[in-house]
Each structure stands twice: as structure tokens, then as C-alpha cells.
């Protein structure tokens, strides 16, 4: 770690008259955790030797008899936290073993770094760029609970189409129709100013924003896109992105969720991920093959498609994810690629003819994922495709809904449930173990946690709609 980078952080703290320092890290599932110290505790030694904490209290990490861990902050992640008082410097860190200082094998950020290093070691490329488009909902009310004898959720939004007849003293109409939320101007778009504020705060915190807009669904669905970056940095920004979205919504008396499918009968929230490989400052995905792609790009796509069912376990890691990934509802469930078909798992954007803009867009993932794990897994799948020259076959440029049943049956699909995805990951994870990027321990722990805490937990509980279907049997 360079002394110049550390000095830059300490100079920033002095310039902004920082009083406290907040150390953030991502847990195994993909949620930021933090603790805070007075400013005088931030010394050069902290950047070298870290600060200790109890790892046994973090989901999926250590047992109580081996709980000591340290966080070593990354000075490149420094920003002034816009939501905390007194003036707070925020630093994201990597998790290490206290005695050996080795990277903790289950640290998601460390896995992302290992994936970047493995890419360089192959000689294929030196940089993998990732640009996620995370969708989310802004709600006015979100209530849910579960007990032995009851279970419910209730969501509400001032712009929800279900409220067009509600007495709102007065109801001013302009409710967003189902599946008609893409780009309407205010007053139909009730959240323009809130999204603008989110966008401005993101820029202040170092996230370069490209655009923001209302998304397709009623009830406050939104999207804010930021500029692509290297794998780890892009994942860092996604965690900061979520933090800002949730806190700005909260400030306005609203709540934001990145849950993939909170509303029945309308679009869910996906996270299309744009990817490209570069070497020595030159793009590697531009060429004279289909849609202006290089042969390398096609092999990269081949690896993604081959391993998508396993990737689902990391890129679509919740039971709710598969309420969105449902065949027949415009979801990107078809394991094919296309320059135009948005129901294909991989799309090649054609907005620009510049070689630098040539990329592949993986449309399956959703924003419930841990981006460090998901992005690392996507890169490893793509590398596997390149190394083994896995060609993706013919593109799917036809309208999927016009295909004859016999032709449609030949197009494989993503997993239909988290349980299926975990089985796929069990059976197909050798590509993730290359270069010690992922470990068998990480894969097994992920599968065990997801099965016990999510798949089985949901399987054991009655669903509210089951009462509508079966109570009178």
C-alpha cells in the first residue's frame, strides 16, 4: 500500500476536519457492515496492520472459538459520508487473518481481487470492466411479518396504479399504469427529484453517473446507471450506490428495496451487467464476427452461457430472484445471445460503433447478489470460455414468442428456483476454483447457508396465496 495513497486520505481528513472514521466491509451475503472510531485512531499503522473485530457475529464467517479477524482499509475507497454526523470519513476494507495477515478465504472483496489477478496471470487481458444497471423500487410503506400462525406483506406507493381510486384528500391521479413506467415525465413520474438527489450525492461520493430514469413497473421502480469500472471498483461502487439510494429514500420518508420481485403482476428489478476485457489500454471484444464482436468475445459469451445455471446461484441468489426469472414474461431466461433480443441471457448493445464501446450485456443477474462474488464468478466463466474456446453457437435473433414449440424447446433456460441453482453450482464449480479465486470452502459454505437459511426456511412456511387456493379443500 503506497504511502502517497495513505497521505492523500489523511490530508482529506484534515481538509474536511473529520471527527470520526467509519470502517465498512461487505459480509458473505453482500450487505455492508461497519464500525466507527475517533479520527485520532486512524494512523499509518492501521493501513498496514488493520483493526480487529469479532468475525463470529458475521453471517457465514467464523465460529466463536476462532472469531478474531482484522480489517485493513483500502485508501482508494475514501469518501466523506454524506449521511453521518459529525463529519465522517468512510473507508472500505478487506478482511484478513490476524496472525498471518493472509486474505480471509471468505472475504468477498478478496475474492474479487483474486479474480482480477487470475485474469492477469492468464495473459488474456489485464483489465475486466463491469458496468451494472441496478434497478430498485421506492415505496411509501413496506410492512411484513411472519409468525407461527400468520404471514403477510403489504407494500404501498403514492404512484401505484392500485391507488387510482383511493381517497387521498384529494387524489390527484397520475398513477403509473402497470408496465408503463418507462420514461413518463412528472407528475406521473413522482420520484424525479429524489432520483436527482441520489444522482448528485453519488457524484459527490465519487460515482460517475451516466443517467437516471423511472423504470417500467408501477409503484416507484427506478434505475440509475453509473460508469463502468474495473471488477473490484465497480463492486465497491455498487455497495456505495445501494447505501446512498436507501439513505436518500429514508431521508424523504420513503424506503428503497433492491429485492428482485416485490410486486406481483409487473416487472421485477434486474441488474444487467455490461462486461468487456482490455489489454494494454486496448479493447479486446471488438472484431469482425457477429454484431462486431471478436472471436474472444464470442468465446467469453460461450463460457457465460455454459455456466449460467451455476452462476444463477451467485448472481440470482435469493428465492425471490426466481419470481423474476420466469419463462414467458419477457425475462432474460433463454440461454442464448443476440444483438437485439432482450429475452436472451446475453445481449450485444449496438448503441455505438466504437471498438471501445464493444461489450457483452449479461441480463440474468439481479441486484440482490453480492457483487464481488457475482462479478468474480462471471469473469471466471468468461475466462473458461476463452481458454477452452467454447463457441456459443448461433445467435437467437428471432422473437422468442413467435417460435414454434419444437424450436423453443431447443433453447435451454436459466434455473427455475434457487434450489435448482444451488444443485447446479454443486455440479459445476471447477471453473471457479482456478487460480484459487474461489475455494471449495467458499462454495460449500455458500450452498449450505442458502439451503438452510433461505430455501428450507421458505419451504417450511405456508404462503399466503396457498390459503386462497386450498383453504376450502
DSSP-derived pairing of the beta strands 334-338 and 344-347:
parallel
- 151-156 and 79-80: which strand pairing? unpaired
C-alpha torsion angle, residues 323, 328, 329, 334 (rounded to 10): 80
Q: Is residue 244 a contact partner of residue 258, using CB atoms and an 8 Å limit?
A: no
Catalytic, out of 215, 236, 384, 419: 215
From residue 169, alpha-carbon distances to 98, 175, 350, 405 in Å are 60, 15, 47, 51
Out of 140, 159, 223, 366, the active site residue is 223
Q: Is-catalytic flag, 143?
A: no
Active site residue 466: no
Q: Is residue 215 among the annotated active site residues?
A: yes
Query: Sign (positive/negative) of CA torsion 214, 215, 216, 221?
Result: negative
Please tell me the distance from the alpha carbon of residue 91 to that of residue 89, in angstroms, as a whole number. 7
Ordered alpha helix ranges (H), 57-166: 108-122
Find, among 366, 408, 360, the residue nearest to 385 by Cα.
360
Active site residue 109: no
Instruction: Write down the catalytic residue from 11, 48, 54, 452.
Output: 54
Give CA angle at 370 (214, 219), nearest 5°. Answer: 25
Out of 116, 361, 366, 419, pick the active-site residue: 361
Q: Which of 166, 170, 119 is nearest to 141 (CA)?
A: 166
CB 299 within 8 A of CB 385: yes
Catalytic annotation, pick one of 363, 366, 384, 419: 363
Tell me if residue 133 is catalytic.
Answer: yes
What is the spatial distance between Cα 216 and Cα 161, in angstroms, rounded to a whole number?
13
Q: Which residue of the set 103, 106, 272, 429 is catalytic? A: 272
Residue 342 appears among annotated catalytic residues: yes
Catalytic entry in 74, 133, 159, 454: 133
419 counts as catalytic: no
Q: Which residues of 27-51 are buried (b: 16+ CB within 10 A; e: fewer)?
A: bbbbeeebeeeebeebeeebbeebb
Is 195 assigned a catalytic role? no
The DSSP bridge partners found for residue 162 are none
Catalytic residue among 135, 159, 225, 384: 135
Q: Is 102 a catalytic residue?
A: no
Active-site position among 177, 342, 459, 463: 342
441's CB contacts (< 8 A; 6+ apart) are 105, 106
Ramachandran angles phi, psi of 43, nearest 5°: -120, 175
Q: Which residues are catalytic?
A: 54, 133, 135, 215, 223, 272, 342, 361, 363
Amino acid at each position: 500500500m503506497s504511502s502517497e495513497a495513505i497521505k492523500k486520505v489523511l490530508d482529506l481528513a484534515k481538509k474536511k476536519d473529520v471527527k470520526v472514521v467509519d470502517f465498512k466491509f461487505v459480509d458473505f451475503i453482500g450487505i455492508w457492515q461497519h464500525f466507527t472510531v475517533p479520527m485520532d485512531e486512524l494512523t499509518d499503522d492501521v493501513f498496514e496492520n488493520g483493526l480487529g473485530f469479532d468475525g463470529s457475529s458475521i453471517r457465514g464467517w467464523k465460529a466463536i472459538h476462532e472469531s478474531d479477524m482484522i480489517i485493513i482499509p483500502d485508501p482508494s475507497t475514501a469518501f466523506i459520508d454524506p449521511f453521518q454526523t459529525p463529519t465522517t470519513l468512510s473507508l472500505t476494507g478487506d478482511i484478513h487473518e490476524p496472525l498471518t495477515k493472509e486474505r480471509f478465504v471468505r472475504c468477498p472483496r478478496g475474492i474479487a481481487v483474486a479474480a482480477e489477478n487470475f485474469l492477469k496471470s492468464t495473459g488474456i487481458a489485464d483489465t475486466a470492466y463491469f458496468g451494472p444497471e441496478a434497478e430498485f423500487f421506492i415505496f411509501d410503506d413496506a410492512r411484513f411479518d411472519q409468525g407461527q400462525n400468520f404471514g403477510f406483506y403489504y407494500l404501498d406507493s403514492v404512484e401505484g396504479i392500485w391507488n387510482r381510486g383511493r381517497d387521498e384528500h384529494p387524489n390527484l391521479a397520475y398513477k403509473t399504469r402497470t408496465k408503463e413506467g418507462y420514461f413518463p415525465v412528472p407528475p406521473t413520474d413522482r420520484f424525479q427529484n429524489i432520483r436527482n438527489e441520489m444522482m448528485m450525492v453519488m457524484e459527490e461520493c465519487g460515482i460517475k453517473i451516466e443517467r437516471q430514469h423511472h423504470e417500467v413497473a408501477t409503484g416507484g421502480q427506478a434505475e440509475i446507471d453509473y460508469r463502468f469500472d474495473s471488477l473490484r471498483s465497480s463492486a465497491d461502487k455498487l455497495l456505495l450506490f445501494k447505501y446512498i439510494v436507501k439513505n436518500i429514500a429514508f431521508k424523504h420518508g420513503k424506503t428503497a428495496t433492491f429485492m428482485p420481485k416485490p410486486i406481483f403482476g409487473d416487472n421485477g428489478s434486474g441488474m444487467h451487467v455490461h462486461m468487456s476485457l482490455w489489454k494494454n489500454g486496448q479493447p479486446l471484444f471488438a472484431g469482425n464476427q457477429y454484431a462486431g464482436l471478436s472471436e474472444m468475445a464470442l468465446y467469453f459469451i460461450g463460457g457465460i452461457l455454459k455456466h449460467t445455471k451455476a452462476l444463477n446461484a451467485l448472481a440470482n441468489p435469493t428465492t425471490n430472484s426466481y419470481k423474476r426469472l420466469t419463462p414467458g414474461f419477457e425475462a432474460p431466461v433463454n440461454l442464448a445471445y443476440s444483438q437485439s433480443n432482450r429475452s436472451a441471457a446475453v445481449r450485444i448493445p449496438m448503441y455505438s460503433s466504437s471498438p471501445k464501446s464493444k461489450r457483452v450485456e449479461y441480463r440474468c443477474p439481479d441486484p440482490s447478489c453480492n457483487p464481488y462474488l457475482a462479478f468474480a464468478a462471471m469473469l471466471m466463466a468468461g475466462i473458461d470460455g476463452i481458454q477452452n474456446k467454447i463457441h456459443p453457437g448461433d445467435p437467437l435473433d428471432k422473437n422468442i414468442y413467435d417460435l414454434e414449440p419444437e424450436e423453443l424447446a431447443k433453447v435451454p433456460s436459466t434455473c427455475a428456483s434457487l434450489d435448482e441453482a444451488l444443485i447446479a453450482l454443486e455440479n459445476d464449480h471447477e471453473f471457479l476454483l482456478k487460480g484459487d479465486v474461489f475455494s471449495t470452502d467458499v462454495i460449500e459454505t455458500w450452498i449450505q447457508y442458502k439451503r438452510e437459511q433461505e430455501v428450507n426456511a421458505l419451504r417450511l412456511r405456508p404462503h399466503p396465496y396457498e390459503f386462497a387456493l386450498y383453504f376450502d379443500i
